[in-house]
């Protein structure tokens, strides 16, 4: 039961990465729009900026719908277009039913001086409904995908064929949405109270709360469950609630994006930003660790070590994708991974204590773009950068000490196998990965042993029917960066090109997972 629950959580978090990846682009576009609207910009340029801002505001204010569609599509096993269409219909039906029920029962809240803020209700696509934030999209997206996978293949005889397949899944969702939309009118206020209490607890915990959050967010990476920590705090009410320019936003990332889009009305950065600085270790921590690996490497291996580390460090520091680097030492020394987590917690706590309010959830590029439109006196980005330099030194010294003290065989401290693998780069190169995919397929026990094919940021995730048929050493012949087995899921570490590998594998094996 525990293994199944963890796998469900992993599946959810992997699916969430699909819509979340688009938010990085949204943040960049918001920053560009804000810059184009600065006072000294010519009027035509400022107008273009306002157009871009209006587009991004539409996305930011409707993340719930985006998550609903994104989750239903990524979780649906077949006919993903049908699943997307049903999810949109389901979302609209929920809004209509919930609004009608609240109105018929005299439960509609009256707007005050601050609008509907604090009433537990909000306006979504023109409907005044129970305010669930992006949780609405998450719940409906997962529910739609489950029903679709369960009933979307059900077919009937010729007379009723029109009601079979995807249409039957839609039919099933009608009473489900009806009951859910009414139930949340009474249940969700208690959920909101729980979310508020959790947020208040983290706030009251002060620096220790920041330390615990940052440590867990880094330490849980090998399990994939770190998504279940940072995503709620970044995009839901767990990360806080704030009113900016007359609109209510929930989640640390959403709040900061709104502040970035409205710098003229911001007098202080909302304290929710303490949940959105976990990019610090992705850049500065990784640089310090890499320098320690290079420094402690055998002299004859040093150049090769640099060539192995440089691509992974670049991807981690600039783009915030650390898995290619992380898996170089997670399993070599779990102790070093623990140290990495503790240092992450320590520095994010210090950033909060010292007054830094800089936003950074991805890499350095995102950090500079996101914080550029806001007055540095508010973000205190100079504190962030100074601590970054100090962090590089601390990570370097601490890792160097422990590597030497315990003679840990980090990259470069033993013979580098000439197996064609270049750490940190996308492990599988070229325009086609057919040969490597066939090796991976053989390594997991053949195509018939594969129950599901998915990917996250850097890992190819294969659910197998019989784990005893898996040959880990065979999989590693495919020039990947590593293999992790969790329950009945074999995770093959590929790199940033993993979506292409995943899609080609599905095509080769004739799958629609």
User: In whole angstroms, what is the distance from residue 461 CA to residue 473 CA?
Assistant: 17
Contacts of 241 (CB under 8 A, 6+ apart): 199, 248, 249, 250, 255
Classify the C-alpha dihedral 126-132-136-138 as positive or negative: positive
* Confidence label for 5 from pLDDT (cuts 50, 70 and 90): low
Q: Is the pLDDT reported for residue 425 higher than 60?
A: no
Query: What is the pLDDT averaged over residues 80-100?
Result: 96
In eight-state DSSP terms, residue 112 is B
The pLDDT value recorded for residue 184 is: 94
Burial 126-135 (b: 16+ CB within 10 A, else e): ebbbbbbbbb
Look up tokens 């719930």; give the residue: 64
Buried b (16+ CB within 10 A) or exposed e, 79-89: bbebbbebbee
pLDDT per position as a tens digit, 141-190: 999 999 999 998 888 887 788 888 899 999 999 999 999 999 999 999 88
Determine which helix (DSSP H) or strand (DSSP E) holds 246, and give its type and residue range: none
pLDDT in tens, 271-302: 999 999 999 999 999 999 999 999 999 898 88
Q: How confident is the model at residue 13 (pLDDT cuts 50, 70, 90)?
A: low
Residue 289 exposed, middle or buried by CB count within 10 Å (0-12, 13-18, 19+):
buried
Phi-psi region of 510 (alpha: psi -120 to 50; beta: other; left: phi over 0): left
Catalytically active residues, by annotation: 456
DSSP 8-state secondary structure symbol assigned to residue 317: I
Kindly report, residue by residue over 470-480, the tens digit of the pLDDT: 998 899 888 77
Alpha carbon distance 172, 167 (integer Å)? 9
Q: Distance between CA atoms of 509 and 440, rounded to whole angstroms?
A: 12
What letter does residue 221 receive in the DSSP assignment? G
Tell me the three state secondary structure of residue 15: helix
Residue 114 has pLDDT above 70, yes or no: no
Which tokens sit at 309?
A: 């580390």
Q: Which of 274, 283, 293 is nearest to 212 (CA)?
A: 274
Statement: residue 232 has pLDDT above 90 = no
Across-strand partners of 489? 463, 486
Are the CB atoms for 453 and 502 separated by under 8 Å? Answer: yes
Angle at 322 between CA 316 and CA 325, to 5 degrees: 95
Q: To which residue do tokens 């590089």 refer? A: 392
Stretch 252-277: mean pLDDT? 92
* Cα atoms in the 13 Å half-sphere on the side-chain side of 488: 16
Confidence at 223, pLDDT banded by 50, 70, 90: low
- Give the pLDDT mean for 434-448: 91
Give the pLDDT confidence score for residue 3 in this predicted structure. Answer: 60
- Residues contacting residue 366 through CB under 8 Å, at least 6 positions apart: 24, 27, 28, 279, 319, 320, 360
Compute the average pLDDT of residues 100-116: 85
Average pLDDT score over residue span 242-266: 89
The domain 434-509: what is its CATH number?
Answer: 3.30.1360.60
Task: State the Cα–Cα distance between residues 50 and 37, nearest whole angstrom.
Answer: 7
Least confident residue range of 70-84, 129-143, 198-212, 405-419: 405-419
How far is Cα of residue 303 from the mean position of the Cα atoms in its chain? Answer: 34
C-alpha pair distances (Å), 121 with each of 90, 140, 156, 234, 474: 19, 18, 41, 21, 55
Beta strand extents in 111-219 (DSSP E only)? 121-124, 127-130
DSSP string, 425-443: S-SS-SS--HHHHHHHHHH
What pLDDT does residue 418 have?
Answer: 37
CA distance linking residue 245 with residue 410, whole number of Å: 50
Whether the CB-CB separation of 251 and 233 falls below 8 Å is answered with: yes
pLDDT confidence of residue 6: 60
Q: Which two tokens stand for residue 275?
A: 């949940």
Tracing tokens 């492990």 back to the chain, one arrives at: 427
Domain with CATH 3.30.1360.60 in the chain: 434-509
State the chain's mean pLDDT as an integer: 86
Tokens read off for 502: 């995943």
Residues 176, 6: Cα–Cα separation, whole Å? 26
Helix-helix angle 286-296:381-405, to 10 degrees: 30
Report whether 36 contacts 28 (CB < 8 A): no
């Amino acid at each position: 039961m525990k293994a199944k629950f963890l796998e469900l959580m992993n599946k959810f978090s992997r699916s969430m990465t699909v819509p979340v990846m688009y938010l990085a682009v949204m943040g960049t576009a918001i920053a560009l729009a804000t810059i184009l609207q600065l006072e000294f910009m010519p009027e035509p340029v400022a107008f273009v900026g306002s157009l871009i801002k209006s587009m991004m505001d539409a996305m930011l204010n409707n993340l719930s719908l985006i998550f609903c569609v994104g989750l239903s599509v990524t979780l649906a096993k077949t006919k993903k277009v049908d699943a997307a269409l049903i999810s949109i219909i389901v979302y609209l039906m929920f809004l209509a039913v919930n609004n009608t029920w609240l109105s018929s029962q005299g439960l509609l809240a009256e707007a005050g001086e601050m609008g509907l803020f604090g009433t537990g209700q909000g306006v979504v696509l023109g409907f005044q409904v129970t305010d669930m934030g992006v949780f609405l999209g998450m719940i409906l997206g997962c529910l739609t995908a489950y029903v679709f996978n369960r009933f979307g293949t059900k077919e009937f005889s010729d007379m009723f064929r029109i009601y079979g397949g995807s249409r039957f899944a839609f039919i099933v969702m009608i009473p489900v949405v009806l009951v859910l939309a009414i139930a949340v009118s009474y249940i969700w206020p208690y959920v909101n109270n729980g979310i508020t209490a959790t947020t208040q607890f983290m706030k009251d915990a002060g620096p220790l709360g920041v330390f615990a959050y940052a440590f867990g967010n880094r330490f849980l990476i090998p399990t994939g469950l770190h998504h279940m920590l940072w995503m709620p705090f970044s995009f839901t009410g767990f990360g806080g609630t704030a009113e900016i320019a007359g609109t209510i936003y929930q989640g640390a990332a959403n709040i900061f994006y709104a502040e970035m889009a409205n710098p003229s009305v911001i007098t202080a950065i909302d304290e929710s930003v303490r949940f959105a600085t976990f990019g610090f270790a992705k850049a500065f921590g990784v640089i310090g660790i890499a320098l320690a690996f290079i420094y402690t490497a055998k002299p004859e291996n040093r150049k090769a070590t640099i060539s192995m580390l440089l691509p992974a460090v670049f991807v981690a520091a600039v783009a915030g994708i650390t898995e290619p680097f992380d898996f170089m030492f997670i399993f070599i020394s779990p102790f070093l991974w623990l140290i990495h987590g503790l240092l992450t917690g320590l520095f994010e706590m210090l950033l909060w204590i010292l007054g830094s309010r800089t936003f950074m959830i991805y890499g350095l590029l995102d950090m500079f773009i996101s914080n550029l439109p806001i007055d540095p006196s508010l973000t205190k980005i100079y504190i962030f950068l100074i601590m970054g330099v100090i962090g590089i030194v601390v990570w370097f010294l601490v890792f160097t000490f422990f590597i030497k003290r315990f003679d840990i065989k980090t990259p470069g401290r033993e013979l580098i196998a000439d197996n064609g693998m270049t750490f940190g780069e996308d492990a599988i190169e070229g325009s086609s990965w057919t040969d490597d995919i066939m090796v991976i397929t053989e390594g997991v026990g053949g195509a018939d042993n594969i129950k599901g094919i998915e990917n996250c940021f850097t890992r190819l995730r294969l659910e197998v029917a019989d784990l005893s048929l898996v040959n880990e050493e065979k999989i590693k012949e495919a020039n990947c960066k590593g293999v992790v087995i969790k329950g009945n899921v074999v995770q093959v570490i590929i790199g940033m090109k993993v979506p292409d590998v995943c899609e080609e594998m599905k095509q080769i094996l004739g799958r629609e997972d």
